[in-house]
Amino acid sequence: MSGQSSRVKESLCAQFGVFCETDYFNLVPRLNPLFIGTPEDGVNNTILNDLIERLNSVPFGATDLPSGYVYLGQFLAHDVSSLPRGNEEPMFESLPLTSLGQGAEPALDLDSVYGGGRRSGEAEVRDGKMMLGPDASGAAGPVDYDLPRDVTGIAKIGDHRNDENVLIAQLHVQFLKLHNYFFDELAKTAAGGVLSARQKDELYEQARLHLQLYYQEVIIYDLLREILDSEVWNYYFEDPNSASILDPHSGGPTRIPIEFSGAVLRCGHSMVRETYSINRDIVAGSQSI
Residue 245 neighbours by CB distance under 10 Å: 9
CA–CA gap between residue 124 and residue 156 (Å, rounded)? 6
Cα first-last separation, the chain? 43
* Global model pTM greater than 0.85: no
Which residues are bridge partners to 126 per DSSP? 129
CA–CA gap between residue 118 and residue 282 (Å, rounded)? 36
Residues in contact with 179: Cβ distance below 8 Å, sequence separation at least 6, in sequence order = 113, 129, 130, 207, 208, 211
Distances (CA, A) of 11 to 101, 254, 270: 20, 14, 36
Phi, then psi, of 277 in degrees rounded to 5: -105, 115
3-state helix vs strand vs coil in the chain, percent to 5: 45, 5, 50
What pLDDT tens digit does each residue of the chain (289 aa) get? Answer: 334 334 433 443 343 333 334 467 777 766 666 666 665 665 666 777 787 788 777 766 567 788 889 899 999 988 888 776 545 555 555 666 666 667 777 778 898 899 876 565 678 889 999 999 886 555 544 457 889 988 888 898 988 889 988 889 999 999 999 999 999 999 988 766 788 899 999 999 999 999 999 999 999 999 999 988 899 898 888 887 776 666 655 566 677 787 787 777 777 777 777 777 777 666 555 555 5
The angle, 0 to 180 degrees and rounded to 10, between the axes of the packed helices 166-187 and 197-218 is 130
- Looking at residue 240, what is its pLDDT? 74
State CA 118 to chain mean position distance. 14
Residue 142 neighbours by CB distance under 10 Å: 6
- Looking at residue 169, what is its pLDDT? 92
